[in-house]
Structure 1
Amino acid sequence: MSDRLPTTTDVLIVGAGPVGLTLAATLRQRGVDAVLVDRQAEGANTSRAAVVHARTLEVLETISVSDELVSRGIITPRFTVRDRDRALLTVDFDGLPTSYPYTLMVPQNVTEAVLLDRLHALGGQVHRPYELAEMTQDPNGVTATMSTGETIRARYAVGADGMHSKVREQAGIGFTGATYAESFVLADVRMDWDQRPDEVMLYFAPEGLVVVAPLPGGHYRIVATVNEAPEHPTLEDVQALLDSRGPAKRPAKVTEVVWSSRFRVHHRLADHYRADRIFLAGDAAHVHSPAGGQGMNTGIQDAVALGARLSSVLADGKPETDLDSYETDRRPVAAGVVAFTDRMTRVATLGHAPQRKVRNLFLRALNHIPAVHRTMAMRLSELSTDPTR
């Protein structure tokens, strides 16, 4: 049973994932009326994104959720790139110019729960299940029609509704890019793991990449590239990936698969982030490889940036031209992330032995250069996207 949808609002947000929740909370905190709708029933989302980087924790301070997130996650101050038992490149976040010199590992459903609690505290809510059917705009606002036939009128609308964004489609904004040939296995598991518990490990192997990262509750997140992933990877599937790509001297033993899925990865960027009174944020505007855990982080930062600009116009009386800076500032950031993660993915999935040998030698050489460590740490943490640094 759906709750009643308001008929008017300042900002309509479509999509109640981390990006939509962050934007709604940002607007509510600044005194702007916002209506957030989502087509899914509550609790339908699963633990997909699991990495929250330093820059994201910084911007989330503006809606007072960073401390709660940190208390519910696992602090990981190091990423390592490995070839079985040999470390090729180490990226330490210690010493970065931030109050959060680490990566936080926390499942997406927990991140969403923290953001939803904050939205409720600010007097907001998510209206479910409402699926957008049509969106039109005129010089004074946007009219959205839901699949139920109900309509809502807003001064502005934001698509935070993911890669297959209905808002982007209705706005007529192109989504340029392509799809990687490989598919990905994603699984949360319990396992006997005789490695560092506070480190994200990226294992390169001839068969492909596998990432192992700690999660709260004794779980581990496994991400791996395969030619054709099974729809629901089993314990045996995950064990085989770790046996062939993970540590050889102290191999992992998977004892339970808590949740698993497969997906294909695109690298795409919206041609524009704005079409008059309609805006895009998060995966509706950019999608890319999961390498480095950049996707949700870039989207949350989109939301805070857009929320600040919308509230400056709607609550503070600034000129509407201030909204132009959203695309100007945020689209180049996403373009850089798409390019960076694409390079990481292609380096990790080199198929020929001579290329892999050269890659490994190159990474080991880079590992001796302090400036490389800092550059990688700044890039992965997304602190490099802050122009004040």
Structure 2
Amino acid sequence: MSQLDVLIVGAGPTGLVLALWLQKQGVNVRIIDKASGPATNSRALVVHARILELYRQIDLADELLSHGYKLPATNVWVDGHQRAHIPLREFGIEMTPYPFILSIPQDEHERILERRLNSHGIFVERRTSLKNFVNGELGVVATLVNEDTGIESTCESAYIVGCDGAHSVVRHGIGAKYEGDTYVPLFYIADLEAEEQESPFFNGEAHLTFVDDTFNLIVPYAQERRIRLIGTTIPRTNEPEADQSDHPEITFEDVLPDIKKASKLEIKQVNWFSTYRSHHRIAEKFRSNRAFLVGDAAHIHSPVGGQGMNTGIMDAINLAWKLATVVKQPSIGEGARNQLLDSYESERRSFALSVVGATDHGFKTITTPGFLPHILRAWIIPYIVPLVTKIQSVRSEIFRRGSQLVCCYRGSPISRCIGNGGTVQSGDRLPWAKTEDSDNFSSLSGISWQAHVYGDEQPALTEWCKGKNVQLHVFEWDQRHAQIGLRKDATYLLRPDHYIAGVFEGEEVEAQLEEYLSSHEFCINA
């Protein structure tokens, strides 16, 4: 229908990542955004390990690390008294090349992404909004509006992806309900600089403070005396304000007494201050024919754990290789095309539901008034959590969940397991295996299918991979591989997002691989 493959609506982190990953795979994209420029302030601050792992695909991880700050520890304060100090440096040890929490403001993150996109000749079309679109069988016809002149234009594309946030025009266009609610407490967020004198809250570590029924989260970035402060105000009424689009006008001076009470911050400068309502919602569907929802357009949750932006970026990477596959293989059958594209919703919506549920539970735990929540905040979190986090297995599990390493797609319609793959199964993230001789993640550069064997490969497998232009990486068997759940001599077929598509072992592995591909009717590395 059109030479344009994908129209991306929204140029936040999810839209920019989607454009980068599609461009890298040879897909023709156009990206628009209603705003006049990149965000100058932002709520999201944390980039988790799984995102950094995936950023290695296009050589972005090191650049992000050079602009970010690794959080060394977090502290818990109750009524102005320090109750706990929890080191963070060792939480993810032996699980990932990035065993830490990286702090980098979303606006700086966006600038890095956009610069990289510009280097490939793709530029965000600013002050351009989506008015509506027709979601046809053969393609999408979108009506765009220039926000400065009001002039309308038509854009034809094969697919449209809504990365346009909580008020998504694409979501409204496909008629997807946005199910959930709005939190009663009003959030505020500020970018602060410290006075020169020493302060325990400007020591380069994170701080979580509880006073009455409010909390402050202090996260440093760039340097010790620059912090992002997130907090809540005590609601003026017990009635939820879920249907209100506005909220009371509150200034930094209004909340400063509460901040002082919680943390005794000595503030040199307030660079910016903003208030907002937080929601926990998820769209009833992520796909309708040729239209897709990604990021906040599909799901939105409280800032607890810094999961929102990270979840959206993983949406974008999951969808990108699937769109690239069907765009580059126009002869693919309708059934196979729909199976592959439908797997985006089945894989990502399931994970989004779990994330929204977990962050909602966490937020209510730290903000709900009452006796039992107070006990949790005043005693369980400050005293019990530091004790249990001294156990390495507990630290590892907390990191695995918080960093989104836990995300897997077992049971996906495009996953396949033949034989006994060990504790690592199809749909899982490939576990990191660093031995004295090798690092299996060193092969995960580029966006392509590849096969891994830990032990000895069969000669026929080598020939099959050559014929399919699939990279084959063979690693000498090591006890470390067994410890993380890999099986000796098994073949692990990796998707372009480096999740395991299938585990194959036994005789005639190449025949099993061929059967996997034929059952899904799509080629790899086309």
Query: TM-score scaled to structure 2, two decimals?
Result: 0.68
Match of 2:256 in 1: 239
Match of 1:126 in 2: 124
Matched, 1:18 2:13: yes
1:202: Cα distance to partner? 1.6
- What do residues 45-79 of structure 1 show as CA deviations (whole Å, max 9, x unaligned)? 52321111111111222222111111011111433
Q: Work out which of the residue numbers 69, 91, 103 in structure 2 matches 1:105.
A: 103
Number of residue pairs matched? 378
- Whether contact under 8 Å (1:29, 1:122) holds in the other structure is no
1:146-185 alignment runs, 5 A limit: 146-147=144-145, 148-185=151-188
One-letter amino acid matched to 1:149: E
Give the Cα separation in 2 of the matches to 1:204 and 1:91: 19
Give the Cα separation in 2 of the matches to 1:111 and 1:69: 7
Question: Comparing 296-305 with 351-360, which one deviates more in the overlay?
Answer: 351-360
Structure 2 CA distance for partners of 1:43 and 1:232, relative to 1, 3 Å: farther
One-letter amino acid matched to 1:219: R
Match of 1:191 in 2: 194
Match of 2:86 in 1: 90
Greater RCO, 1 or 2 (C-alpha within 8 Å, sep 6+): 1
One-letter amino acid matched to 1:61: R
Q: Which of structures 1 and 2 has the bigger CA Rg?
A: 2
- Whether contact under 8 Å (1:238, 1:254) holds in the other structure is no
1:358: Cα distance to partner? 4.5
Give the Cα separation in 2 of the matches to 1:328 and 1:181: 31
What SS does the corresponding residue of 1:131 show, helix, strand or coil? strand
1:249-288 alignment runs, 5 A limit: 251-288=264-301
- Percent identity between matched residues is 35
- Whether contact under 8 Å (1:268, 1:286) holds in the other structure is yes
Q: Work out which of the residue numbers 191, 204, 220 in structure 1 matches 2:210.
A: 204
Match of 2:400 in 1: 378
One-letter amino acid matched to 2:11: A
One-letter amino acid matched to 2:363: T
Structure 2 CA distance for partners of 1:297 and 1:44, relative to 1, 3 Å: closer
Give the Cα separation in 2 of the matches to 1:383 and 1:91: 20
Give the Cα separation in 2 of the matches to 1:80 and 1:377: 17
What SS does the corresponding residue of 1:187 show, helix, strand or coil? strand
Matched, 1:219 2:226: yes
What SS does the corresponding residue of 1:190 show, helix, strand or coil? strand
Question: Comparing 89-98 with 295-304, which one deviates more in the overlay?
Answer: 89-98
Gaps of 5+ in 2: 146-150, 236-246, 409-427, 432-526
What SS does the corresponding residue of 1:384 show, helix, strand or coil? coil
What SS does the corresponding residue of 2:305 show, helix, strand or coil? coil
Structure 1 or 2: more strand by fraction? 1
- Whether contact under 8 Å (2:233, 2:255) holds in the other structure is no
- Whether contact under 8 Å (2:365, 2:373) holds in the other structure is no
1:250-329 alignment runs, 5 A limit: 251-315=264-328, 319-320=336-337, 321-329=339-347
Give the Cα separation in 1 of the matches to 2:191 and 2:154: 40
Question: Comparing 378-387 with 270-279, which one deviates more in the overlay?
Answer: 378-387
Structure 2 CA distance for partners of 1:325 and 1:89, relative to 1, 3 Å: farther
Give the Cα separation in 1 of the matches to 2:328 and 2:55: 20
